[in-house]
Structure 1
């Protein structure tokens, strides 16, 4: 024990008689050190979220410089989603059983970096197929890196701190998306002025510079792995585990309410992310905004989500009534899309509504899975939910591009309205099924607490 104490003192700043510089920052058990770790966790996903919507920020430039139509443009999003139809099941397994959290995070961060570099090289060499391959590689790392990020959070922060940490991580992710939407167009224009003309070379250099954020995330992964290993040695702390137990045979036991939750999830998100991917040009063409203003409007969903997600999460925790909040979120999204489709009202209003409803839905919908699935099946249920969400996003991205090429933005908005309407119908059906079965999905927080207490007694 004395040898271990001496090793810990040496790691924290010298021998027993030596001065200890910045002892709080060097002590893995101290709050200051854990705050440094939290900052690294937040930076871990910054690059991935920044680069995910690089195509949306430069939609016009990509289509012009690479000479592709909207259908091919949206393949850049479809190729990101395809690997995650499978990796949602395998990501947690690879982290727990194969790589470990530290090597897993470094490997997935590397995939994100390599994918972004290949994507940028595709533009530089005027090879769109190479850009698609880059997005595929980027997708392999992107979603699994989010799993690793959450695993680190659970490992370092327990109890009441955890919800706040998840909220801060989500906020940093949304900040990354927002900065991308508002920075990449400006960066492209500066590089265009420097090179003397627009074209695929300008596009590629812009994407390559954007990839610096992915290198920042990889550096964070390396430092985080070192600090986590050091904390394990000093505090005898176990390596983080996702806790996911994936058994595909569990799918046959999924209940009707769970399948309805899946339908709500897919039909909702396919009307949000593909729309944001195409939104910038929509705002310039329909409303006549400049490119910079259109980018700002398109990013407002993420801007609102950053501060509101933790607030809505707390509100749903305190009130319960998950189905009611999901119903409010989906209905508000439907109103938002109808305003964008059929009116010339200032789109700031509709997009602010979309940002609020998007934040609320995430806080109310995803926790419902835990209310209808036994604990030992949670990993499978969440993995399947993410899998079909990515399948829906991949397919709808292609369909949205085809509709836009052949019919225009009005038909595209009608398509999104149909998707949200299906989601809304599923929420109503879920409410009726839950009520008929005496389920707890729409219980108040007080009712759930009373049931929990009665079971413990």
Structure 2
């Protein structure tokens, strides 16, 4: 009751006495109460849309692969530079993005700043296409990358701050679902947007390409608005519930990296080995399906987007499943093995690619739901921003290098060797996750506990704290 009175007093200050009109003893509406589930669901909605624009525009080059290469007269290696330039700044800045969230900006201001970088970068990217200046497009992707991955770090940190506990895997799944909805919409409508714009300007070309990319920038503006609303709601919750802004009162140091435990480094290796076999492949997938399977451009775009289409509804379902069962390491092993099988099917068979891509979509969703929350189990809460930032940094180093290598391999050796290369990357992830299983087992099995055992430990910890 004392906590309620204190909250009511604060709300009364915020609303200039309007709370007093409700009368004493009246609780605030559930949707206005930061401790209530309904209010947290509202926060989750804005949290999910926070990355929508970034993910929509990230794969603009993949959705318009044929048009970009034709209109700007590029080869595959040059085309993949658009992905490499996105990743290069995050080799360093993604780590410092997490550090700045912990130490400098705070989660709210940092999220707005990173969202602004995404908007500006996409506008520069579109302007470069409009003027037929490829170097300016690379600058735009660089600026876009500064904000894009750091925004993902902020989104992860928001999720842990609001939902740490039994709901975390489900929240990660929902965030991934909404992000992949953005990617799916991009893959399936940007071709049509380009065609409509080309009709308006008179003919296909770099002007139509630039205008299409500028239209896509509207999604980034929408995500910036979500960042502003989310910051307001988080500030209000901090004032009412008297909680810190995503901190525990402990100081984060750059030297914390050397103290990261072995399981966390293995998680980093899994992340890199796995994702470099997903995103560069999707970036080049449209032409792959046209050449190997004789698909039309529309069919190729559809099958290339199936990974995102499946992950959108599957991620929250699989996240809920991981929440209820635990055993995160086992689920990661299943996801990696399934991905390896899918790439081998694409490389060595002429089976309908919808089968392999559907498996890839399911395994991608499962890995994201099981792998990323494990970081919160192996590092202290005050280091989460730094840990997630470093994880994104290493991932982007791998993506930048593999994007360039994939373009060079494709230009010189073709798609078969490229698929063998992706299979090798997944095998590295498989070796790392098997090693993680045994290391975790020897250390007591914290990462691979069942959900019931994990809940029991949390109750015991809460009792000891009281």
Mapping 1:77-226, distance limit 5 Å: 77-154=83-160, 163-226=169-232
Report deviation, 1:135: 0.6
Residue number in structure 2 paired with 1:241: 246
Find out whether 1:412 has 2:418 as its counterpart: yes
User: Structure 1: which 5+ runs fail to align?
Assistant: none
Pairs aligned (count): 451
The CA RMSD over aligned residues, in Å, is 3.1
Whether contact under 8 Å (2:171, 2:316) holds in the other structure is no
Distance 2:156 2:108 in 1: 13
Distance 1:204 1:133 in 2: 15
Distance 1:204 1:210 in 2: 10
Q: Do the aligned partners of residues 404 and 313 (structure 1) sit closer, same or farther apart at CA in structure 2, a change above 3 Å counting? A: same
Residue number in structure 2 paired with 1:393: 399
Distance 1:447 1:103 in 2: 37
Mapping 1:3-18, distance limit 5 Å: 6-10=12-16, 16=21
Q: Do the aligned partners of residues 254 and 135 (structure 1) sit closer, same or farther apart at CA in structure 2, a change above 3 Å counting? A: same
Report deviation, 1:161: 5.3
Residue number in structure 2 paired with 1:309: 315
Find out whether 1:421 has 2:427 as its counterpart: yes
Greater shift in the superposed pair: 443-452 or 308-317 = 443-452
Whether contact under 8 Å (1:95, 1:242) holds in the other structure is no
Find out whether 1:43 has 2:49 as its counterpart: yes
Whether contact under 8 Å (1:125, 1:201) holds in the other structure is yes
Q: Do the aligned partners of residues 282 and 448 (structure 1) sit closer, same or farther apart at CA in structure 2, a change above 3 Å counting? A: same
* 1:121-161 deviation digits (Å, cap 9, x = unpaired): 01011111110110110111112222333444455557555
Q: Do the aligned partners of residues 180 and 237 (structure 1) sit closer, same or farther apart at CA in structure 2, a change above 3 Å counting? A: farther
- Residue 350 of structure 2: SS of its match in structure 1? coil
Q: Do the aligned partners of residues 42 and 424 (structure 1) sit closer, same or farther apart at CA in structure 2, a change above 3 Å counting? A: closer
Q: TM-score, normalised by structure 1?
A: 0.88
Distance 2:353 2:144 in 1: 32
Whether contact under 8 Å (2:251, 2:382) holds in the other structure is yes
Whether contact under 8 Å (2:97, 2:389) holds in the other structure is no
Distance 2:101 2:385 in 1: 13
Report deviation, 1:44: 2.0
Q: TM-score, normalised by structure 2?
A: 0.86
Q: Do the aligned partners of residues 56 and 347 (structure 1) sit closer, same or farther apart at CA in structure 2, a change above 3 Å counting? A: same
- Residue 366 of structure 1: SS of its match in structure 2? helix
Q: Do the aligned partners of residues 245 and 8 (structure 1) sit closer, same or farther apart at CA in structure 2, a change above 3 Å counting? A: closer
User: Structure 2: which 5+ runs fail to align?
Assistant: 1-5
1:265 to 267, 271, 276: 271
Residue number in structure 2 paired with 1:285: 291
